[in-house]
Amino acid sequence: MSSTFDLMALPPELLHHILSLLRRKALLRMRLVNRHLNSLATPSAFRSILLVAHGDSSKKFRALADSQLRVHVRDITVDTWLGPYFIYRMFDRWMLPDEFINCLPFLSCFRSLDSLHIRFHEDCADIAGGGDADEYNDDRLDLLVKIFQFLAGNWPKEKERLESAGVEMSNFRWYDGEELPPTVNGPPIQLSNLTIRNLGDHHEPEFTSSEAFKLVVGPALRDLRLHITTEGVGEERKPNHESITKYISFDNLHTTWLGPDIVANLHTLSLYCREPWGFNPRMDFRRVGQGRGLPNLKVLALGKYTFSHEWQIDWFASLNLEKLYLDNCAVLYQYDGRPCDMDRGEVVIGQDEFGNDISISREGYYKQMYDRHDHDGPHGTYGTTSTSVRWHMILSRWRETMTNLKVFKMGSGDWEGQKAFRKFDCPDPDTPGKDIFRFGSGLWQERSDQLLYIYHTDEWREWREWEKEYRDFVAEREREGEEWDSDEEMFSAWRMEDGLRARDEAALDLFVSTVEARARKVSKDDR
């Protein structure tokens, strides 16, 4: 039997890995055995902590912030969940508890912190017309501002700014200087990992350009995972296609959450959204990094991203990725629109090494929502436009150009639990083994979740073998003796190309087998 001394003789990285596999309860018990096991287990036992807006979480958080054990904390999750007794979407009064808010300044006590995870509720709405949504965009922004100010260590400057602006500080009772820890004065805590679940779809340039944001999220960031929520349809909420701020937010991601200083050193990027994005709302990756892209990116995960233009194929291939995950991503097969709705302009995205402007075309995208009603020109009639992009085209070209890719997965993650954007790289749900899903499950790689196509009218519609489903629906009505006008002319307008699915599946299988073969060769050569 191995002794405690034998364990201490193991390399530190191996010890850390072994202890990371133990649950927290086991680690806490290990601390009580003897002094040696105490020193072994303590760093792992207190490495990750949770601050949630219900129960005694706030009390435990404050106690740890005041103890010497805080030096071991490297990973913190801040969750606005109000607990099992608060019923969302029932017009209940949503308000974060005072004790939760009072804990935020004490985030600055954890000087070893390098990973922060923030969780909001999935509902998202403006204050005006919010209806049955509980958390408003202003609620999210207010919490983000507080967290980043305290991590940045510039609260004294912010307090001075507010006072000079005539803001009554008594309204900010949790900002009472006598109750704040001295660590709020800095130095800043720079994060290497940041995840935000249900980030609001509002454009907030004042926040992302603030000193606090730049101090906390900057060149030190290596891993960024964002799940963006959108204003959905509720009893009194506006339909999501009327939320203009969503379009502004996505079109400007390259200046906010994906600004040049942030993406310069990113190793891992996960970008998910509650609804399809990329085409509408438009998010042009060519604008990221002022045209320089993501030079150090190795891992990319996209959730509900839409491929619509041929330039996307070569742009993603140029990233020199090692791992690529496509979660419920789809190709835009066709879309409806009037000539006046479409963008035909160009935009400057940066400059080359000689100082010349680099411009890109916006051809094939909708105009921004607020630019679509051009009353001075001809509107024209609605028409349907097919794109030239197909899955077999994408995958065939990637097979030739993504030569460094070691992992490729296409499928569907845990969207219901809103964990997909963080857990995409976990084992597949059908992977055999005991306790293998302790840290989460990755993507289901079922055929029904792969090679998706969507089309856009006044809303998004998923194809998912639309032709077969439609014919089965008509056949069932006819069997039941109901008269049904199949409207063959209308149906044929949405009909997929003959043999498309077979070509796509063949291209996917060949791409996956090629990636796996290359990965095995690299692994063998590294031995």
Reported as a single tens digit per residue, the pLDDT across 76-86 is 999 999 888 77
Tell me, what's the pLDDT at 90?
63
Q: Does 39 share its domain with 81? A: no
DSSP, collapsed to helix, strand or coil, labels residue 207 as helix
Is residue 370 over pLDDT 70? no
CA 415 to chain CA centroid, Å, is 12
Instruction: Kindly report which listed range (198-212, 228-242, 243-257) carries the lowest average pLDDT score.
Output: 228-242
pLDDT tens, 283-328? 999 999 988 899 999 999 999 999 999 999 999 999 999 999 999 9
Tell me, what's the pLDDT at 461?
75
Q: Does 242 share its domain with 121? A: yes
Tell me, what's the pLDDT at 166?
53
Of 273, 297, 321, the one marking the end of a domain is: 297
Q: Does 40 share its domain with 64? A: no
User: pLDDT exceeding 70 applies to what percent of the chain?
Assistant: 79
Tell me, what's the pLDDT at 433?
60
Q: Does 100 share its domain with 152? A: yes
Is residue 199 over pLDDT 90? yes
Residues contacting residue 441 through CB under 8 Å, at least 6 positions apart: 413, 414, 423, 426, 427, 428, 429
Structural domain contains residue 476: no
Q: Does 255 share its domain with 279? A: yes
User: pLDDT exceeding 90 applies to what percent of the chain?
Assistant: 47
Structural domain contains residue 157: yes
Average pLDDT over residues 69-73: 95
Q: Does 33 share its domain with 169? A: no
Is residue 238 over pLDDT 60? no
Q: Residue 409: how many CB atoms within 10 A of its CB?
A: 21
Domain interval for residue 11: 1-45
Is residue 473 over pLDDT 60? yes
Tell me, what's the pLDDT at 468?
61
Radius of gyration of the chain (CA): 26
Tell me, what's the pLDDT at 173?
43
Show the tokens assigned to 120.
Answer: 């909001």
Tell me, what's the pLDDT at 504?
98
**Residue 399 vs residue 161, higher pLDDT:** 399
Is residue 241 over pLDDT 50? no
Structural domain contains residue 386: no
Show the tokens assigned to 133.
Answer: 């949504």
Structural domain contains residue 313: no
Question: Any idea which residue has 């004042």 for tokens?
Answer: 206
Q: Does 9 share its domain with 145? A: no
Asked if 442 and 423 count as a contact pair (C-beta separation under 8 A), the reply is yes
Taking the chain, what is the end-to-end CA distance rounded to the nearest angstrom? 31
Structural domain contains residue 253: yes
Q: Does 116 share its domain with 16? A: no
User: Cα–Cα distance between 508 and 314 in angstroms, integer?
Assistant: 17
194: closest CA among 147, 146, 134?
147
Question: Any idea which residue has 């002319």 for tokens?
Answer: 489
**Binning pLDDT at 50, 70 and 90, where does residue 375 land?**
very low
Q: Does 41 share its domain with 150? A: no
Specify the number of domains making up the chain.
2
Is residue 174 over pLDDT 70? no
Q: Does 55 share its domain with 34? A: no
Asked if the bond preceding 12 is cis, omega within 30° of 0, the reply is no
Tell me, what's the pLDDT at 410?
98
What global pTM score does this model have?
0.87
pLDDT tens, 123-168? 776 654 445 556 677 788 889 999 999 999 876 666 665 556 554 5
Q: For 357, phi and psi rounded to 5 degrees? A: -65, 140
Q: Does 248 share its domain with 277? A: yes
Q: Say which CATH number the domain at 37 has.
A: 1.20.1280
Beta bridge partners of 136: 125
Tell me, what's the pLDDT at 497?
83
User: Cα–Cα distance between 457 and 461 in angstroms, integer?
Assistant: 8
Is residue 240 over pLDDT 50? no
**Positive or negative CA dihedral for 84, 90, 92, 97?**
positive
Of 266, 297, 328, the one marking the end of a domain is: 297
**Positive or negative CA dihedral for 507, 510, 516, 520?**
negative
Of 13, 29, 45, the one marking the end of a domain is: 45
DSSP, collapsed to helix, strand or coil, labels residue 351 as strand
Question: Any idea which residue has 């999210």 for tokens?
Answer: 140
Q: Does 26 share its domain with 163? A: no
Tell me, what's the pLDDT at 136?
72
Tell me, what's the pLDDT at 157?
65
Residues contacting residue 117 through CB under 8 Å, at least 6 positions apart: 75, 76, 77, 78, 194, 195, 196, 197, 422
What mean pLDDT is reported for the chain? 83
Give whichever of 33-47, 398-412, 513-527 has the largest mean pLDDT: 398-412
Tell me, what's the pLDDT at 183?
85
Structural domain contains residue 426: no
Is residue 234 over pLDDT 60? no
Average pLDDT over residues 107-116: 96
Question: Any idea which residue has 């619509």 for tokens?
Answer: 308
**Binning pLDDT at 50, 70 and 90, where does residue 493 land?**
low
pLDDT tens, 27-61? 888 888 888 788 888 888 899 999 999 999 999 99
Residues contacting residue 139 through CB under 8 Å, at least 6 positions apart: 80, 94, 96
pLDDT tens, 458-470? 777 776 655 566 6
Structural domain contains residue 94: yes
User: Cα–Cα distance between 218 and 316 in angstroms, integer?
Assistant: 23
**Binning pLDDT at 50, 70 and 90, where does residue 177 land?**
low
Residue 66 has, within 13 A of its CA and on its CB side, a CA count of 9
Structural domain contains residue 378: no
Instruction: Report the greatest alpha carbon distance in the chain.
Output: 85
Is residue 372 over pLDDT 90? no
Q: For 311, phi and psi rounded to 5 degrees? A: -60, -25
